[in-house]
Amino acid sequence: MKVQFLDLGKQPIANRFITDSEKDSEFFYNLTVGFDNSSKLITHMDYVDPPMMFNESYTYRGSMSNTMVQHFKQFSENFKKSYNPKSVLEIGSNDGVFLKNWDVDTTYAVEPCGNFAKETNELGYVTYHDFWTRTLSEFIKNEHGSMDLIFAANCICHIPDLDNTFQAVEGLLSRNGMFVFEDPSLAQMINTNSYDQIYDEHPHIFSVIALQNILSRNGLTIVKVDNTPVHGGSNRIYVQRTSDVVSIDASVRSNIEFEHMLGLDNIETFIAFAKKVEQSKKDLITLLTRCKQLGKKIISYGATSKSTTVFNYCGIDSSLIDYVIDTTPEKQGKYTPGSHIPIINTNKINSDVDMAYLGAWNFASEIMTKESEYVNRGGKFITHVPLVKFI
């Protein structure tokens, strides 16, 4: 049974950046989050229908950040050295940021967003334009046989039905094959108060504890966990069919012990988290309002899904933030979902800006290196992670 602990209010589709004419007809839903008593999963009380989010007009491009390009390159090189997989499938291949590290002849992909499926098909990777399900997994097995590596980055936590998802993986893995997936870590979200990891596309935020419960009831076992710094702290989970498991790395136990210590198996932890989220909202509005009263020009850096949650939950609009800058061509010239702040086409912070709220706080170091001129002239960055403050 799910017990609600957090209400982030009315929210729009986080990655649907809108045009002027769409401002009056936006879709909103209630973003409420609960704790599932039996599996210990943190999950939305109600799910947004996936085709509402993942379709032809999806805008998020993984390769817009050099950090992520390097992250997938490094993982691919290491995995090839250790396991040398002969067949690879990626679930949720986006713009091919991971795929590009693998051989076109033996690497397949699944992507529900038509614009990106087209793009990676054109690169030569056979890409199924569909949602990941048992039916699709069986179809791929008939076409190409079973897979030595099934990979998914920032994808599994996007899928409402986890049992179907994991059964589909279990059926397609080759003998001794490995399923590797990475998503934002619940432990890091709680530790850094980064409640903006929660939006329509993230119906679940995973703990290793919850994943172990759900994977094991689907014939799968976690054999290793890597903690990676990307996206504010993610876990990379290595999984095998339970019947194939030979040994389990010590990282599985240490992560689970750490999570027990944080109380991630206990609703009280999340009730306390919800109170901190409310405080964060108050602090951010106070800081932005005071700076505005002092006549400061404030912009936002990175038109992220995360900032859709923050702007709509805190009621931040263009009266506080003049505009947003983002390098993604598909987002430029549009408005932020719900809050309707214009997204400007510029690669650098303009010289008249005093402060920049970091919508992409997870890329703070990459952004601050790029914006050294702004930093050197005394420009300030604002974040709410882990506390509302200037950097």
Query: Contact residues for ligand JHZ (CB under 6 A)?
Result: 60, 64-65, 154, 201, 231, 302-306, 326-328, 360, 362-363, 366-367, 370
Backbone angles phi, psi at 99, to 5 degrees: -55, -40
Distances (CA, A) of 156 to 107, 172, 176, 184, 207: 19, 16, 21, 10, 13
Q: Least distance from C-beta 305 to ligand JHZ, angstroms?
A: 4
Distances (CA, A) of 37 to 3, 166, 192, 259, 265: 7, 20, 24, 16, 8
Rg of the chain, C-alpha, whole Å: 21
Q: Least distance from C-beta 14 to ligand JHZ, angstroms?
A: 7
Backbone angles phi, psi at 97, to 5 degrees: -60, -35
β-strand pairing of 107-110 with 88-91: parallel
Contact by Cβ (8 Å): 68, 366: no
Q: Least distance from C-beta 251 to ligand JHZ, angstroms?
A: 22
Contact by Cβ (8 Å): 199, 151: no
* Closest CB to ligand JHZ among residues 97, 252: 97
Contact by Cβ (8 Å): 195, 277: yes
Q: Least distance from C-beta 387 to ligand JHZ, angstroms?
A: 19
Sole residue written with tokens 């993942």: 54
* Closest CB to ligand JHZ among residues 106, 193: 193
How many Å separate Cα 13 from the centre of its chain?
Answer: 14
Q: Least distance from C-beta 71 to ligand JHZ, angstroms?
A: 11
Would you state the structure tokens that stand for residue 283, as one six-digit string?
Answer: 């602090």
* Closest CB to ligand JHZ among residues 2, 158: 158
* Closest CB to ligand JHZ among residues 35, 199: 199
* Closest CB to ligand JHZ among residues 231, 334: 231
Q: Least distance from C-beta 349 to ligand JHZ, angstroms?
A: 10
* DSSP E strands, 54-142: 88-91, 107-110, 126-128
* Closest CB to ligand JHZ among residues 49, 143: 49
